[in-house]
Amino acid sequence: MNVAVFLLGLALAGLLGLGRGSMRRYLVAAALGLLWATPTFPVVEAVGYLSRETLGPTLLALLPTAPHLALVPLGALLALLLAHFGGRAAGVGGVLGGGLALASLLVFLQGPAHLVRLKPLPGLMEGVVALSLLVPFVLLAVWRRKQAGLWLPLGVALALSTFAWLTSPQAHTYFPRMEGYYKLILPAEPGTEEKLVAAYNQGLEELNRVREEIGLPPLKPIRDLTGLNEGRLPQEVAQAGYRLLQPQSTAYGNVALLLFLGVMMGSGIWLLFRPKLAQPDDLRTGLVLALVAASVFPAFDATEFDLGKLVKGWPFLVNFLDRAWPPNLAQPQSGIYPLQSVASEMLLTLEIALVGTLLAALFALPTSFLAARNLTFQNPLLRILFYLMRGFYNVDRGVDTLILALILVAAVGLGPFAGVLAMAIHSIADLGKLYSEAIENVDKGPIEALESVGASGSNVLRWAILPQVLPLFVSYTLYRFEINFRVSIVLGLVGAGGIGFFIKGAMDAGHYDQMVIGIIAIVIVVNLIDFASSWLRSRLV
């Protein structure tokens, strides 16, 4: 598995090199990715008594137990240093640094499971959070050097106060996992494992007696902690701060490191033979690529992305398709007419989207003029209204339509009214923002011409601004109606009426042959609305 991931990275670098683009940028990206993954990505598992006690130590946390793992970040630093010189020197750095790091990592990953001791680092995560708040102020001070005397003290004060609060008992009440979150993995004291094994075997007779009473098979004596059932430690061992480190377990950091090493070494090989595959902006481009990769790997792990689950669930999908086709259009003998229900609910869905969009447009139209910068910044009162409207738009857009629908269903009951209100409230902000941006981009010539002859503000609005923005307003409203129709389908799933409500009911009852009628109807109507809306927008703008 480990070698396969490394070879995949090597192959990826080989394919990228066929495009004759800069390979130094990929070398830089892989080296920076290795440096980022060293203190942040979990590499292996360290298990305790309960599954929630399982830790994913990072490469940095493992250094006290496996000091040779320091070759991984050192190899990345070597590759970065030689990449600065470019040419074959960069290639040597990629191959040499990657080779040292790969050998060190593979030696560790092939090692046996063994007992380790945890050492929490109090204040570390609190300090990271405080520093992350300081960074924007430092960037502002660099960008606006004349105001550095304001931004830097402000950032330092915010960072220090945040750190002081996060390390307080009150903060640990709200964020209990933050205290001592980052833990170093230290070797267990000599003789500790033997004592724990002896204690475990000594209490095995009593443990097996309890297991027999509840119908579980008896456990056998063990020679070391790796012989424990399912690799779990005894409860008293885990509570004493020990874990069973399993180097051969897989975590996403393990995959990321090997993939980065493959890309770095592959890029280095390309540069050895073609040293001119470089560009002046490789450091900046490599940094961007590394940031993207650093965010992708944790995201895949957090979403539990696993194609194996899809393979296991394939029989259900086959069964679903078998039960869903052919569609059950009507059952006159039972008095069930799914096609008629779908037609009625689809019409209701369209009406929900239409009313919700209309209400949003009616409220967004007047408020958008107050949210337009070019119309409000000449008057202090209007400037205050501008910030208030923009703030309202931002807050409103931050609350999803589905959340609003759940709240309103509880307030006004099930049915389309809750869906209309939720859609209208959320769409006000979206339409208002689009309308205000259209107003800000109007041609100033007609406005200045009317103002020069003494025209009033209402006349300037009527004859200079509205003729320019109305076609865009209509276009944006039509586009929002398309979005709202799709949203109204989802709102039906939470009881806000429409075709989504029909689909959920059919799905819950196992009537897949009725549910598929609703899906087909959605596909047809969505395409019809898209074509009609596109044609109208092309005529208006």
Q: What is the pLDDT of residue 74?
A: 92
High-pLDDT (> 90) share of the chain, %: 2
The per-residue pLDDT of the chain, averaged, comes to 77
Q: For residue range 326-350, list pLDDT tens digits in order.
A: 666 666 665 566 667 677 777 777 7
Distance of CA 377 to the CA centre of its chain: 37
Q: List 183's β-bridge partners, or say none.
A: 120
Q: For residue range 161-199, list pLDDT tens digits in order.
A: 988 888 888 887 888 777 778 888 888 777 776 777 777
Q: For residue range 520-538, list pLDDT tens digits in order.
A: 777 777 777 777 766 766 6
Give Cα separations from 294 to 213, 249, 416 (angstroms).
Answer: 50, 21, 43
203 phi/psi in degrees, rounded to 5: -95, 10
Stated pTM of the model? 0.68
Q: Evaluate the CA torsion angle 195, 201, 204, 205 in order and state its sign.
A: negative
DSSP string, 57-104: -BHHHHTTT-GGGGHHHHHHHHHHHHHTT-HHHHHHHHHHHHHHHHHH
How many C-beta atoms lie closer than 10 Å to residue 31's C-beta?
Answer: 33
Q: For residue range 426-445, list pLDDT tens digits in order.
A: 888 878 877 877 777 766 65
Q: What is the pLDDT of residue 322?
A: 66
- pLDDT band for position 132 (cuts 50, 70, 90): confident
What are 359's two structure tokens?
């209400």
Q: What is the pLDDT of residue 152?
A: 84
What are 413's two structure tokens?
């009951």
Q: For residue range 89-103, list pLDDT tens digits in order.
A: 888 888 899 889 999
Q: For residue range 56-89, list pLDDT tens digits in order.
A: 888 888 888 889 999 999 999 998 888 888 888 8
Highest mean pLDDT among 185-189, 254-258, 464-468: 254-258
Contact 245, 64 (CB under 8 A): no
Nearest to 85 by CA among 138, 7, 24: 24
